[in-house]
Amino acid sequence: MKNEKESATRSDFIRDIIKEDIKKNKNDGRVITRFPPEPNGYLHIGHAKAICLNFGAAKEFGGHCNLRFDDSNPIKEKEEYVESIKKDIRWLGYNWGDRECFASDYFEQLYEWAVQLIKDGKAYIDDLSAEEIREYRGTLTAPGKESPYRNRSVKENFDLFERMKTGEFPDGARVLRAKIDMASPNINMRDPVMYRILHKPHHRQGDKWCIYPTYDFTHGQSDSKEGVTHSLCSIEFEDHRPLYDWFLEKLHVYHPQQIEFARLNLSYTVLSKRKLMQLVSGGDVSGWDDPRMPTLSGLRRSGYTPESIRAFCERIGVAKRDSVVDIALLEYCVREDLNKRAPRVMAVLHPLRVVIDNYPEDQVEDLDAINNPEDPDMGIRKVPFSRVLYIERDDFREEPPKKFYRLAPGREVRMRYAYFITCVDVVKDEKTGKVVELHCTYDPATRGGNAPDGRKVKSTLHWVSAAQAIEAEVRLYDRLFVKPNPLEGKEDFKTYLNPKSLETLTSCRVEPSLKGARQGNRYQFERLGYFCVDSIDSTDEKLVFNRTVSLRDQWAKIEKSMKAGNG
């Protein structure tokens, strides 16, 4: 019932255009999109937006979405990245079937098209150096000037281009340029480079080529070859569109429609492969899949579900304006998903020993605990209770501030699914004064958590039985940066890295039902948050959990506001 609204047709300006095109029977009503990553890095949540849009829209309108690797620059691209990209897209829940394409598969055709333009007098070989080309290009406000090589004969251009191809010239010696207009107000039209000499092996083509087409000469024609009807790309390519149009027109080939939309920005992180790469290579994170990274592999490892990421992408919408989405929305989306699906479990992160003085020395009771109150079908499990327990250090205050409902000397609280207990004594370290143990009494009549006399307690604590608990490592991940927009200050963005983005806790205690928890399993640690068994470091001998996201925390807010002003 709740999911009915999911099927409600979502709408954005791009889907509106597609609907309109279908209505007008443009392209015979076909819808072909494509997701065109360059295999030079790992996919991040910003790519997820594009993936959901391209695959999502294609599916909604009965079309197809190609996965096409835009691999025209062998300097940056690697097989490792194409594999990770495929894995991430599949994980996100999308399939491209046999529609797996590579721009490099079109190199032969692209070469022929280049020759065609040369023969039509629409492209020429330029011997200017890179620096000279830049100088000749002019500036934003001043027109450029024509290269002295601009008017070579077709014959000479063709000859030179062939010799570029056969490897006669060193890198950078010459380029092939489109002959358009050096005075165009659109800089992209000032005789853009189409081919450059790069004596570099290509991850798929090997040593076959030593000249490579530029993105500008590759992208539009690749879309064209694939019969893409709606070529959705980000906004910075808007003023490249006239150039793509120019190539397509001069080549007399099918002309896809390009539509631009704004890329995603997320608060408290960065979304640029270049910046993310810097974090990886600088050792600021453990790798592309560090759970703090906004990469899909990082989000996956931290416990995010593909469903939650898709839901996020739906909620943020698609538009053209620059925007920064609050990361709280992403966090909301995982909580929403995991709340319904994640089994609940008790885990104590900062253990404080509690002895129940009046509980029989050797007794252990197996108490019923509900696996997920949101989903009765998930059943119940047994949790052992005994004389010595651990509770969360934060759940006890010797001098409780107002609004602190948890345990304190003389105070009675409920141990979840167990008994009411009352704190009767506090044991401290003589030297440091640190509380090391609590003594409590329990009320046998409250077994299961209810008092027959109707007596209420103000809070319920999670706990773990000392003897049966399993020791585990828990990694508390937090936002990567301390500033909503780390790129906004004058300093290098790394200045704003959150020094507390990872806190590793090595002696946590988790309930025994977690024995055998498998990598990737997700749980809610009651009252704490959602956690996921680390997919790399966790073993049967030593469980390692990553915090995906904390639970919403009313008390934390109260405490914070008390500290901020009212206290």
List, as one string, the DSSP characters of 209-250.
-SEEE-HHHHHHHHHHHTT-SEEEEEGGGGGGHHHHHHHHHH
Q: Which residues of 202-227 are buried (b: 16+ CB within 10 A; e: fewer)?
A: bbbbeeebbbbbbbbbbbbbbbbbbe
Cβ-based neighbour number of residue 438 at 10 Å: 22
Q: Which of 324, 364, 380, 427 binds RNA (CB under 7 A)?
A: 324
Considering beta carbons, is residue 29 or 138 the nearer one to RNA?
Answer: 138
- Report the first-to-last Cα separation within the chain, whole angstroms: 45
Q: Give the C-alpha separation, 82 to 42, whole Å.
A: 9
Q: Is 133 in the site for RNA (CB under 7 A)?
A: yes
Residue of 273, 310, 335, 547 with catalytic role: 273
Pairing label, strands 420-428, 435-442? antiparallel
Q: How far is the CB of 157 from RNA (least distance, A)?
A: 16
Q: Give the C-alpha separation, 218 to 107, whole Å.
A: 9
Considering beta carbons, is residue 304 or 404 the nearer one to RNA?
Answer: 404
Q: Which of 17, 277, 325, 435 binds RNA (CB under 7 A)?
A: 325
- The interface mask with RNA, positions 494-533, x = CB under 7 A, is ------------------------------x-xx------
> Is residue 496 a contact partner of residue 481, using CB atoms and an 8 Å limit?
yes
Of 301, 153, 180, 322, give the one whose Cα is nearest residue 240: 180
Catalytic, 398? Answer: no
Q: How far is the CB of 255 from RNA (least distance, A)?
A: 17
Catalytic, 273? Answer: yes
Q: Is 552 in the site for RNA (CB under 7 A)?
A: yes
Q: Is 328 in the site for RNA (CB under 7 A)?
A: yes
Rg (CA), the chain: 31
Q: How far is the CB of 283 from RNA (least distance, A)?
A: 23
DSSP-derived 3-state class of residue 487? coil
Q: Is 16 in the site for RNA (CB under 7 A)?
A: yes
Of 369, 351, 338, 279, give the one whose Cα is nearest residue 548: 338
Considering beta carbons, is residue 16 or 398 the nearer one to RNA?
Answer: 16
Q: Is 403 in the site for RNA (CB under 7 A)?
A: yes
Q: Which of 378, 426, 558, 562 binds RNA (CB under 7 A)?
A: 558
Please list every residue from 221 through 240 that binds RNA, using CB under 7 A.
235-240
What is the total count of residues that contact RNA (CB under 7 A)? 93
Q: Which of 3, 7, 9, 139 binds RNA (CB under 7 A)?
A: 139
Q: How far is the CB of 34 from RNA (least distance, A)?
A: 12
Please list every residue from 100 through 129 that binds RNA, using CB under 7 A.
128-129
Q: Is 316 in the site for RNA (CB under 7 A)?
A: yes
Please list every residue from 32 through 51 that binds RNA, using CB under 7 A.
36, 38
Please list every residue from 153 through 172 that binds RNA, using CB under 7 A.
171-172
Beta bridge partners, 523, equal 531
Q: Is 554 in the site for RNA (CB under 7 A)?
A: yes
Q: Give the C-alpha separation, 421 to 77, whole Å.
A: 62
Q: Which of 116, 278, 286, 372 binds RNA (CB under 7 A)?
A: 372
As given in the structure block, the two tokens for residue 329 are 């929305």
Q: Which of 323, 358, 504, 539 binds RNA (CB under 7 A)?
A: 323
Q: Give the E-state strand segments of 22-135 in sequence order.
A: 32-35, 64-69, 100-102, 123-126
Cβ-based neighbour number of residue 238 at 10 Å: 13
Sign of torsion over alpha carbons 240, 242, 243, 247: positive
Let me know if 492 is exposed, middle or buried by CB neighbors in 10 A (0-12, 13-18, 19+): exposed
Q: How far is the CB of 153 from RNA (least distance, A)?
A: 21
φ, ψ for residue 368, nearest 5 deg: -80, 130
Stretch that binds RNA, among 104-112, 247-255, 513-521, 556-564 (CB under 7 A): 556-564
Considering beta carbons, is residue 339 or 519 the nearer one to RNA?
Answer: 339
Stretch that binds RNA, among 54-62, 278-286, 297-305, 444-452 (CB under 7 A): 444-452
Q: Which of 460, 501, 513, 535 binds RNA (CB under 7 A)?
A: 460
Between the alpha carbon of residue 326 and those of residues 64, 136, 265, 457, 485, the distances in Å are 31, 43, 9, 37, 10
Considering beta carbons, is residue 37 or 306 the nearer one to RNA?
Answer: 37
φ, ψ for residue 227, nearest 5 deg: 70, 25
Q: How far is the CB of 32 from RNA (least distance, A)?
A: 19
Q: Is 199 in the site for RNA (CB under 7 A)?
A: no
Residue of 86, 263, 447, 494 with catalytic role: 263
φ, ψ for residue 365, nearest 5 deg: -110, 140
Q: Is 359 in the site for RNA (CB under 7 A)?
A: no
Which sequence positions are flagged as catalytic? 38, 263, 273
